[in-house]
Amino acid sequence: MDPGNDTQISEFFLLGLSEELELQPLIFGLFLCMYLITVFGNLLIILAVISDSHLHTPMYFFLSNLSFVDICFTSTIIPKMLWNIQTQSKVITYEGCIIQMYFYILFVCLDDFLLTVMAYDRFVAICHPLHYMVIMNPRLCVLLVLVSWIISILHSLLESLMLLRLSFCTDLEIPHFFCELKQMVQFACSDSFLNNMVMHFAAGLLGGVSLVGILYSYSKIVSSVRGISSAKGKCKAFSTCASHLLVVSLFYCTSLGVYFNPAATHSSHSSATASVMYTVVTPMLNPFIYSLRNKDLKGALKRFFGKGT
């Protein structure tokens, strides 16, 4: 791209997952179903936790927050994609793109931090069960969530303000189904060295700290469980964190796979397709993972529907 042709543009063009017209109805129907499942599934978890006093514990407090973030996460991306398919328009305004990118970064960071906080909660519950309610008191739980929101907001604001300093070429086509930060920086006409430095440093720092925290928590959990003499005790200890461990594995494996997969690196459309896993599929599967492997949550959902009928 020629830097001499750059100007302050007013809109971008999101090419989506495929430009073939015959595939658009299939993509529309598939993503609409996944979006509705994500919203209603996570909403049910939130309602179950709020309505059942048995679930007013730190673990379910964090889970309800994660469900809320997952609803917001997918709502930032999917409705605009569905609207573009329905209207056969690929246009998104410059302001709309910046706003979408801001909230995308915000909710990705929150997902990351909440999974880390939930890992710490399981660590305290299994390794320090007698002091669990003292350590994980309501004030600390609220503080952990609040700090996660503040850091995520500041990080997202920093990345968005850094992007505003860049200029873009005219007729900019983004081979993605939403305004993703890496794609935006890559297609800038002006010098983006500082943006790349900030982006990779922040991702390495925030993502690295979260991943190390999760790995440390589960290493301590495994060490503690190995010390339990009875097989029944070991099974019970692992069952309390099996759902969370599965969600963590799904989130990190899919998101890291996008950035370290050679096919996704060399092909923008491959990267867009791979991004579906952690932006759409993972939030959709979370309610199933937690409800299917959690007797307390299943019981709360049955009582919730029982009251409704």
Segment 25-62, tens digit of pLDDT: 999 999 999 999 999 999 999 999 999 888 899 999 99
Asked whether residue 111 carries a pLDDT value surpassing 90, the answer given is yes
Asked whether residue 2 carries a pLDDT value surpassing 50, the answer given is no
What is the per-residue pLDDT for 3?
43
Residue appearing with tokens 């925030």: 206
Q: Dump pLDDT digits (tens) for 164-178.
A: 988 887 667 888 889
What is the CATH number assigned to the segment(s) 10-299? 1.20.1070.10
Structural domain boundaries in the chain: 10-299
Average pLDDT score, the chain: 85
The Cα–Cα gap between 246 and 100 comes to: 28
What is the per-residue pLDDT for 292?
67
What is the per-residue pLDDT for 308?
57
Q: Tell me the average pLDDT across 99-125.
A: 94
Q: Dump pLDDT digits (tens) for 8-30.
A: 677 888 888 877 888 899 999 99
The Cα–Cα gap between 44 and 67 comes to: 9
